[in-house]
Amino acid sequence: MLKDQELQAIKNRYGIIGNDPALNYALGVANQVANTDLTVLILGESGVGKEVFSKIIHSNSSRKHEPFIAINCGAIPEGTIDSELFGHEKGSFTSAVGDRKGYFETVNGGTIFLDEIGEMPIGTQARLLRVLESGEYIKVGSSKVQKTNVRVIAATNKDLKERSQLGKFREDLFYRLSTVPIRVPALRDRKNDISLLFRKFASDFAEKYRTETVHLDEAAQQLLATYSWPGNIRQLKNMAEQISVLSPSKKLNAQELQFFIPEDNQVKLPALIPTEGVEKDNSNFTSERDLLYKLFFDMKKDVTDVKKMFFEIMKNPSAAQAYQGEQSFQHENREVQTSYIPSGNLGPENEMHQEEGGSQPIIISQGNQATSSVQEVEDVLDLAENEKTLIIKALKKHRGRRRNAAAELGISERTLYRKIKEYDVDI
């Protein structure tokens, strides 16, 4: 791996801020694989800086004097992406008024960075696989096989293995691309680097807009570290620019900083995940979940009422007369009817006599004294307890991998961490 001086030189050259171990490891792998022709797959959420890694690999390779081009596969329409990548012959389709060279021809000898590779159409994936395996491709509308010597670096913020299982990405292409995978950590996993990045961005924007540099007190820095940063470094940079321009104070505390940070404190409960491959309707999904929670609370209320009634009968047996007759509990259009009669109407055999309109409780005879046997109903409808149970099951299912458990439960990793601490879950 890289020595500290070499690592810092790369960071200075490409403007990389931070000293997180996962970031340093990713940089080390990128530098080590740069001088080869291996295909590299860069993994990471949107906004973490995957394109910077592609430039590091190209600039430190033997192809550094050859062309480098970055292509966003999700930004090119499906009908034209084959022509963009491989070129086309005149008359091959309606708007093909002349021959056109594709990127694999114009960048021959250099490097192509295919960002958002998970959005590439299935048909184009088959063409790309052939290029990776044999260096051959055919222009749209042509029958002539052409050769190219291009290094491919791909990047994605999606789980390509999961997409291949859903039939949205070729499994053979996934394994061909991931010869060397490099995972770029999310910003929320680099908590010690967040304040460093903010100071760098604030200083740059102060110079750009000719204003005083914004500074954060300790509480404000802690607030930055606890935010989830779904947009990663890109979101932090945009926020630093916003604060540099709009903040009346150049020394912000946590309360002032909170004004610029989007809401991230919603209480999220574990949610049912729809069956894989089924299209999700968010509005219906939310209403069904709300209905489930209402059902839990209604059931808990019914059980509490029944317990209260039993306790009153135990304390005052004569009160049982007040409950003689039918008591109806309606729940989800179902009625459960129970009748209570004085214990004196039971025979010595303590049998359960069925009467018209209801049933009688069992009376257990102890010697000459008849005592009502009342079994306390255990309250198993506690929402917090059910939530804790779901979290434990998810963690066990994914062998303690919190990111996968959070995805299974439909909540963020940050919410899962908070719930684990709140319920004192031992994993």
Fold of 382-423: Arc Repressor Mutant, subunit A (1.10.10)
What pLDDT does residue 156 have?
A: 96
Position with higher pLDDT, 319 vs 292: 292
* Confidence at 314, pLDDT banded by 50, 70, 90: low
Q: Taking 80 as the threshold, does the pLDDT of residue 237 lie above it?
A: yes
Lowest mean pLDDT among 77-86, 235-244, 307-316, 409-418: 307-316
For tokens 């490097």, name the residue. Answer: 111
Q: Which secondary structure element, helix H or strand E, spans residue 312, and what is its range?
A: helix 282-315
Q: pTM, whole model, 2 decimals?
A: 0.61
Q: Which secondary structure element, helix H or strand E, spans residue 49, and what is its range?
A: none
pLDDT tens-digit map of 150-167: 999 999 999 999 999 999
- Domain range 4-185, CATH architecture: 3-Layer(aba) Sandwich (3.40)
Average of pLDDT values for 134-163?
Answer: 94
* Confidence at 101, pLDDT banded by 50, 70, 90: very high
Lowest mean pLDDT among 172-176, 259-263, 359-363, 379-383: 359-363
What pLDDT does residue 96 have?
A: 78
What pLDDT does residue 297 have?
A: 64
Are 59 and 217 spatial neighbours (Cβ–Cβ below 8 Å)?
no
Domain coordinates in residue numbering, the chain: 4-185, 189-258, 293-372, 382-423
CA 148 to chain centre: 38
CA distance 109 to 98: 25
Domains 189-258 and 382-423 share a fold: no
The listed CATH number (1.10.760.10, 1.10.1740.10, 1.10.8.60, 3.30.530.20) that belongs to domain 189-258: 1.10.8.60
pLDDT tens-digit map of 366-411: 444 444 444 444 555 567 777 888 888 888 888 888 888 888 888 8
pLDDT tens-digit map of 109-134: 999 999 999 999 999 999 999 999 99
Which residue type is seen at 229? Answer: W
Are 121 and 78 spatial neighbours (Cβ–Cβ below 8 Å)?
yes
Could you give the dihedral angle defined by the CA atoms of residues 395, 397, 398 and 403, in that order, rounded to the nearest 10 degrees? Answer: -50
